[in-house]
């Protein structure tokens, strides 16, 4: 497609388990004027075969050695032709009207450089966990920076903004937060209240393995990065956070993360305890013990405790 309005970008690394569902969710959009650039980022599973099995003129395939999602997306966007860039990860699902609603919003709001949405959060087995409650207005988002303002897989942004800030950095962690904090310097950011994606939490997801301490480290590094003060040592810290933890550790933290969501966001104490027990069986963690006892408290008490901890 020579002049699509939207370029949908997907970077895939060993995504065979959920990939077909993710691709289908884009091909079945009500908005039709888009190209779909999929980067196979050095996958060693059947991801490339799945991508190539589609016979759709809108799909552009880039097959490359592994560089990481940020660099993979930069390469895809360099080859893109759309006025707007829409992101979807290979384990997430877009609702049918997602592209249309976000396109219409950006067309009507030239002051806004990027828009996200709320999401239905699901676990690795596609079970519903909770519905997000994202900050919607620019004022609220601005006050929360440098925290990540979006669910990355829900975002659509102007390609001109992407070019102006220089794209995603090569940090392997927090690359999306860096990009959107840069965007905040040149225009407004918004979230639509609609649920426009299903966002899957998996053991390998960076957001599930970061502790509160890690999150603070990441925020401080982002502040330095957006002011062009980031050091190579800081970049290496971010890369180590993303790469130097084995699957066993990630899976234990994943179950802890899911359990917390069943306590804070969708009061399901039995499901919380089920995940906490799974986490403890993999790796002992004082937080898992703490939340196990918390799970026996009444819902209103847990809600008060959450507000204090937050």
> Which residues sit opposite 192 in a β-bridge?
117
- 190 shares its domain with 290: no
pLDDT at 173: 74
- Tell whether 73 and 188 lie within a shared domain: yes
Q: Are residues 189 and 226 in the same domain?
A: no
Q: Which of 203, 237, 268 is the last residue of a domain?
A: 203
φ, ψ dihedrals at 166, nearest 5°: 95, 10
Domain CATH for 81: 3.90.550.10
Which residue did the predictor score with more confidence, 223 or 96? 96
pLDDT digit string, tens, across residues 207-217: 444 455 666 77
Domain hosting 139: range is: 6-203
Shared domain check, 14 and 97: yes
| In a domain? residue 160 | yes
Q: Are 42 and 14 in contact (CB under 8 A)?
A: no
Asked, for residue 19, whether it belongs to a domain, the answer is yes
By percentage, how much of the chain surpasses pLDDT 90? 73
**Are 126 and 43 in a shared domain?**
yes
**H or E element: which one contains 240?**
helix 232-243
Model-level pTM?
A: 0.88
| Cis status, amide bond into 18, omega within 30 of 0 | no
pLDDT score at 199: 97
Q: Residue 303 falls within a domain, yes or no?
A: yes
Q: Which of 157, 174, 203 delimits the end of a domain?
A: 203
Tell me, yes or no, whether 159 and 259 share the same domain: no
| More confident position, 237 or 298 | 298
Residues 289 and 193 occupy one common structural domain: no
Residues 267, 191, single domain; the answer is no
Question: Does a structural domain hold residue 1?
Answer: no
Residue 150's pLDDT band, with cuts at 50, 70 and 90, is very high
Residues whose CB falls within 8 Å of the CB of residue 129, separated by 6 or more in sequence, listed in order: 121, 122, 123, 201, 258, 261, 262, 265, 266
Backbone angles phi, psi at 67, to 5 degrees: -125, -10
Lowest mean pLDDT among 9-23, 172-186, 235-249: 235-249
Is the residue at 269 inside a domain? yes
pLDDT tens figures, 57-107:
999 999 999 988 899 999 999 999 999 999 999 999 999 999 999 999 999
pLDDT higher than threshold 50 for residue 8? yes
Provide the pLDDT for residue 303: 81
Asked whether residue 222 is assigned to any structural domain, the reply reads: yes
Residue 205: predicted pLDDT: 67
Q: What is the pLDDT of residue 239?
A: 66
With bands split at pLDDT 50, 70 and 90, how would you rate the model's confidence at 35?
Answer: very high
| Residue 105, in any domain of the structure | yes
Give yes or no: residues 223 and 124 share one domain: no
> Would you call 146 helix, strand, or coil by DSSP?
coil
Q: Are residues 166 and 246 in the same domain?
A: no
Percent of the chain with pLDDT strictly greater than 70: 91
- Which of 203, 229, 249 delimits the end of a domain? 203
Q: Does 117 share its domain with 168?
A: yes
Structurally, how many domains does the chain consist of? 2
Output the average pLDDT for the chain.
90
- 230 and 302 in a common domain: yes
Burial of 250 (0-12, 13-18, 19+ CB in 10 A): middle
């Amino acid at each position: 497609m020579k002049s699509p309005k939207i370029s949908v970008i997907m970077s895939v690394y060993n995504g065979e388990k959920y990939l077909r569902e993710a691709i289908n969710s884009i091909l079945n959009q009500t908005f039709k004027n888009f190209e779909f650039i999929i980067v196979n980022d050095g996958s060693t599973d059947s991801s490339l075969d799945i991508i190539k099995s589609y016979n759709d003129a809108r799909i552009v395939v880039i097959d490359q050695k592994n560089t990481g999602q940020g660099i993979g997306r930069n390469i895809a966007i360099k080859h893109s032709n759309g006025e707007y860039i829409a992101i979807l990860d290979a384990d997430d699902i877009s609702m049918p009207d997602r592209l249309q609603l976000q396109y219409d919003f950006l067309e009507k709001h030239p002051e806004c450089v990027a828009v996200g949405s709320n999401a239905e959060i699901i676990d690795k087995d596609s079970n519903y966990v909770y519905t997000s409650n994202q900050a919607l207005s620019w004022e609220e988002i601005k006050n929360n920076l440098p925290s990540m303002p979006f669910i990355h897989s829900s975002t659509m942004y102007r390609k001109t903004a992407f070019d102006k800030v220089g794209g995603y950095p090569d940090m392997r962690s927090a690359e999306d937060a860096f990009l959107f904090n840069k965007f905040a310097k040149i225009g407004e950011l918004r979230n639509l209240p609609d649920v426009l994606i299903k966002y899957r939490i998996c053991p390998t997801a960076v957001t599930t393995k970061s502790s509160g301490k890690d999150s603070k480290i990441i925020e401080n590094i982002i502040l330095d990065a957006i002011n062009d003060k980031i050091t190579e040592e800081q970049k290496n810290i971010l890369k180590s956070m993303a790469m130097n933890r084995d699957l066993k550790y990630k899976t234990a933290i994943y179950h802890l993360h899911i359990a917390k969501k069943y306590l804070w966001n969708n009061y399901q104490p039995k499901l919380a305890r089920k995940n906490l027990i799974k986490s403890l069986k993999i790796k002992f963690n004082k937080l898992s013990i703490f939340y196990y006892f918390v799970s026996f408290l009444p819902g209103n008490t847990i809600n008060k405790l959450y507000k204090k901890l937050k």
